[in-house]
Amino acid sequence: MSQQVTETTLATKIHSFSSVGFARAKRLAKLGLVTARDVLFFFPRDYEFPAPPAKVDQLREGESASLVGEVTDTEVVSRTAGKSVVGVLVENDSGAVRLLFFNQPFRAEQMRTGQRVLISGTPKLNGLRWEFVHPKVTLISSGEDLPKPVILPIYSLTDGVKQPELRLLTSEVCERIADTLTEVMPDSLRQSATEHLRAAGIHLAQPLPEIRQAIRQIHRPDDIDNLQAARTRFVFQELLVMQLALAMRRRKLTTDLLAPPLPTSAMIEARIMNRFPFELTGDQRRVMDEIAADMGRQFPMNRLLQGDVGSGKTVVAIFAMMLCVAGGYQAVLMAPTEVLARQHHRTLSNILADSRVTIGLLCGSLSAAQRRDAIEKTASGEINLLVGTQSLLSESVQFDQLGLVVIDEQHKFGVAQRVALRGGGVDPHYLVMSATPIPRSVAMTVFGDVELSTLRDKPPGRGTVNTYLAHDGWKDRWWSFVRQRLDEGRQAFVVAPRVAESVDDEDAEDVSSVESVFRELSEDKLRGYKVGLLHGRMSNDEKQAVMQSFAAGRLQVLVSTTVIEVGIDVPNATVMTILGSQRFGLAQLHQLRGRVSRGTHAGHVCVFTDGELPPDENERLKVFEQTSDGFELAEADFRLRGPGDLMGRRQSGMPPMRIADLARDVEIVAVAREIAQSMIDEDAELSAPELSELRNQVMRRYGKRLNLGDVA
Ligand code: ADP
Ligand code: MG
């Protein structure tokens, strides 16, 4: 037995513990607990804090509480056939409560009159008196201090594994091997991290503790200060490891890949700017400068351009593409839908009319001949700018000399890594655009290897949008408002979540479907107006035709699914009705709303729901009603729902966090990022001997995932 104790290491399998055994080990494995190391780093998900002793008048039915007092009376209330009830009266200067114990006759001996006790349990009101049935009782000798309250860890559980079992196991493993742990973060690093964290406003009653102490305090905290310091240490460590990996990757992209330098000049810029029919906003100019600086280097730009719907991202992309063509290379723009690709193609053709630049289009609905033509001219270099959908990714598309890839509405693709588009033997520059603003912490983590540009100003003259969260009684008034706008010559969108009622969908009945909405509106509220229908099950030609009729004003109302969410530009459309809005995410709602802020007229969005909503859903829609800033919304969405899709898709490469919480720990992320960057600037491969353990962790967790290769 004693031998087993000395031999326990981090790698010891827990089934060899006498307290575990095979059956239990099997259940624990479901929690990922196989070795002693796993157990040690299985952090509590929460803690049970003992409530401070309460006063009698603060007690609440059904809420656990503790209380200190003196026993003033003890009686055995009844005793029949071996059954007993002991009643104990406990008093302090705030009042008295009664304790009841069934079939525990020893309680009468234990709690004699005059004994001080600390009790805890869940009280019930019986008449005018609070009663505790079988409370936990701690005897306090006279003159003794109150016992120190114990903070208990709460672990995630699985079938057949109970809380006390895990508490015992973690205690045991801590006892046995906490002292064999080697420190990952040297003293100096912990010290400087402590200073940075404090400067960032994070409360630390003590410096970040070294690992042996931290691991004990996280499982069995002595008090709240120790707990907080230990948790912060591990959160910081986890984020630091991630940030080091990202910093290494950013560095690697600049040293391993070769891109064509495409420098700008005053002449080139003047020629490009002259083609835009408007003044650029300050933000657009700033972002163009950032992009021009990136593209002038001989390693690929890797930049994400985020900007709210209508902030003018396309113009920035056109600038980058023209810069690329001016440098003698081809550029490609990929859009998530054919409608959008065609729109971009039109915009480019207008701006570049009567220039020598050739623009090609490649998307699913082309005829075989058109397609062959586009592919040939791309391969020969005759096409300078190619616009298309995902069909660009097909293998037959080869470029002569590709210098720049632009991806529009990146969040629609879920493209996790750089798209495999190349030609001409170099790595193209890469510009990704997204109208779903990325919360700060996500930008610093999941997108941590990407440079970020942001358009916050809107182009001048953009209409404002009013958003109304509708109540049931509003429908008539709203539709009459819509008719008024139509009579004034404006156009309207109506958005509904589904295509048709599907019988096998259990909640189909309360889901508005575009087809029935279309029928109802055309026959009733909007009778006499020209109403069109657009949804994802229509063929591309049909969709295209409907969109064009709407854009040209031949249709006044477009009833649609979220097909219109992405990028459609019809400035005359100023009214939008969103039905079944609880089906949509905040980001999606905001994208939809962006469709009616394109012109000079104020936009109006009315949001209806199917039936009554639970409070949290309602909260979400209220946020939408009150906030028109996409960045604020993104942060709110992130708080309310977690990172969701945005992160999920791109995250494919990222391991889940064990203790850090990207929404909650955003300040710590920022500190970790700053420290990681300066560490990598100083020692790119973390080759200092005292960092070797840290380096191992980085490589173990992220080496493969981020393709860090063998940095050593
Ligand atoms: P985004 O892609 O960011 O949603 P777009 O690039 O499609 O936005 O721009 C939205 C509209 O604003 C387009 O009609 C575009 O021509 C116009 N626009 C862009 N920049 C400016 C500007 N600086 N001044 C005036 N209009 C602009
Ligand atoms: Mg756009």
**DSSP H helical ranges for 258-331:** 266-273, 282-295, 313-326
Q: Is 394 helix (H, G, I), strand (E, B) or coil?
A: coil
Lowest mean pLDDT among 122-126, 415-419, 570-574: 415-419
Give residue-wise pLDDT tens across range 475-498.
Answer: 889 999 999 999 999 999 999 886
- Select from 280, 315, 348, 458 the residue to mutate for testing ligand 1; criterion: most ligand atoms less than 8 Å from CB: 315
346 pLDDT more than 70 = yes
pLDDT band of residue 413 (cuts 50, 70, 90) is low
Lowest mean pLDDT among 11-15, 31-35, 50-54, 270-274: 50-54
Q: What is the pLDDT of residue 418?
A: 53
Element (H, E) at 89: strand 83-92
Dist. CA 668–CA 666, nearest whole Å: 5
Q: What is the distance in A from the centroid of ligand 2 to the CA of 543? A: 19
- Select from 276, 278, 342, 564 the residue to mutate for testing ligand 1; criterion: most ligand atoms less than 8 Å from CB: 278
**Closest C-alpha residue for ligand 1 atom 18:** 312
**Closest C-alpha residue for ligand 1 atom 21:** 459
Tell me the mean pLDDT in the region 539-566. 85
Q: What is the distance in A from the centroid of ligand 2 to the CA of 165? A: 55
Tell me the mean pLDDT in the region 634-642. 75
Nearest to 39 by CA among 157, 235, 172: 172
Q: What is the distance in A from the centroid of ligand 2 to the CA of 590? A: 14
Q: Is 467 helix (H, G, I), strand (E, B) or coil?
A: strand
Percentage with pLDDT > 70 across the chain: 91
Percentage with pLDDT > 90 across the chain: 52
Nearest bound ligand to CA 594?
A: 1
Q: What does pLDDT average to over the chain?
A: 86
**Closest C-alpha residue for ligand 1 atom 17:** 312
Dist. CA 214–CA 85, nearest whole Å: 46
Q: What is the pLDDT of residue 357?
A: 94
Ligand 1, CB within 6 Å, residue ranges: 278-281, 284, 307, 309-315, 435, 459, 569
Q: Give the CA angle between residues 48, 51, 57 to the nearest 5°.
A: 150
Q: 568 is written with which tokens? A: 């459609």
Give residue-wise pLDDT tens across range 148-166.
Answer: 778 999 999 988 889 989 9
Sheet of 465-469: strand order equals 465-469, 603-607, 573-578, 491-495, 557-560, 531-534
**Closest C-alpha residue for ligand 1 atom 24:** 459
Give Cβ neighbours of residue 521 (< 8 Å, ≥ 6 apart).
494, 531, 557, 559
Q: What is the distance in A from the centroid of ligand 2 to the CA of 553? A: 21
Number of Cβ atoms within 10 Å of the Cβ of 397 = 20
Dist. CA 37–CA 28, nearest whole Å: 13
Nearest to 332 by CA among 373, 365, 375, 294: 375
Tell me the mean pLDDT in the region 301-328. 92
Q: What is the distance in A from the centroid of ligand 1 to the CA of 598? A: 8
CA-based torsion, 657, 663, 669, 671: positive or negative: negative
pLDDT band of residue 3 (cuts 50, 70, 90) is very low
pLDDT band of residue 649 (cuts 50, 70, 90) is very low
CA atoms within 13 A on the CB side of 27: 13
Nearest bound ligand to CA 311?
A: 1
Q: What is the distance in A from the centroid of ligand 1 to the CA of 87? A: 78
Q: What is the distance in A from the centroid of ligand 1 to the CA of 701? A: 42
Element (H, E) at 468: strand 465-469
Q: What is the pLDDT of residue 22?
A: 84
**Closest C-alpha residue for ligand 1 atom 27:** 459
512 pLDDT more than 80 = no
Contact 45, 173 (CB under 8 A): no
**3-state class percentages of the chain: helix first, strand second, coil last, to nearest 5:** 40, 20, 40
Q: Is 246 helix (H, G, I), strand (E, B) or coil?
A: helix
Nearest bound ligand to CA 463?
A: 1
Number of Cβ atoms within 10 Å of the Cβ of 398 = 15
274 or 568: which leads in pLDDT: 274
Dist. CA 674–CA 438, nearest whole Å: 19
Q: What is the pLDDT of residue 404?
A: 96
DSSP structural state of residue 347: H
Ligand 1 atom nearest to 455, measured from its CA: 3
Number of residues in the chain: 712
Q: What is the distance in A from the centroid of ligand 1 to the CA of 568? A: 12
76 pLDDT more than 60 = yes
Nearest to 301 by CA among 349, 250, 350: 250
Nearest bound ligand to CA 335?
A: 2
Q: What is the pLDDT of residue 465?
A: 87
Q: 20 is written with which tokens? A: 């575990």
Q: 377 is written with which tokens? A: 């001219």
Tell me the mean pLDDT in the region 169-184. 92
Q: What is the pLDDT of residue 710?
A: 58
pLDDT band of residue 387 (cuts 50, 70, 90) is very high
Nearest bound ligand to CA 283?
A: 1
Lowest mean pLDDT among 128-132, 415-419, 451-455, 516-520: 415-419
- Select from 285, 314, 316 the residue to mutate for testing ligand 1; criterion: most ligand atoms less than 8 Å from CB: 314
Q: 507 is written with which tokens? A: 């909640």
Ligand 1 atom nearest to 567, measured from its CA: 4
**Closest C-alpha residue for ligand 1 atom 15:** 312
Q: What is the distance in A from the centroid of ligand 2 to the CA of 494? A: 21
Q: What is the pLDDT of residue 37?
A: 92
Q: What is the distance in A from the centroid of ligand 1 to the CA of 410? A: 18
For the question of whether the overall pTM of this predicted structure is more than 0.85, the answer is no
Give Cβ neighbours of residue 635 (< 8 Å, ≥ 6 apart).
439, 440
**Closest C-alpha residue for ligand 1 atom 10:** 310
Q: What is the distance in A from the centroid of ligand 2 to the CA of 591? A: 10
Q: What are phi and psi of 342, to 5 degrees?
A: -65, -40
User: How distant, in Å, are the alpha carbons of 489, 534, 542, 558, 597 from that of 549?
Assistant: 15, 11, 11, 10, 20
Nearest bound ligand to CA 409?
A: 2
Q: Are strands 152-154 and 557-560 parallel, antiparallel or unpaired?
A: unpaired
**Closest C-alpha residue for ligand 1 atom 12:** 312
User: How distant, in Å, are the alpha carbons of 76, 98, 123, 132, 585 from that of 126?
Assistant: 18, 10, 9, 10, 48
Q: What are phi and psi of 264, to 5 degrees?
A: -100, 170
Give residue-wise pLDDT tens across range 590-621.
Answer: 888 888 876 677 899 999 988 777 777 788 88
Tell me the mean pLDDT in the region 34-50. 91
Dist. CA 218–CA 507, nearest whole Å: 45
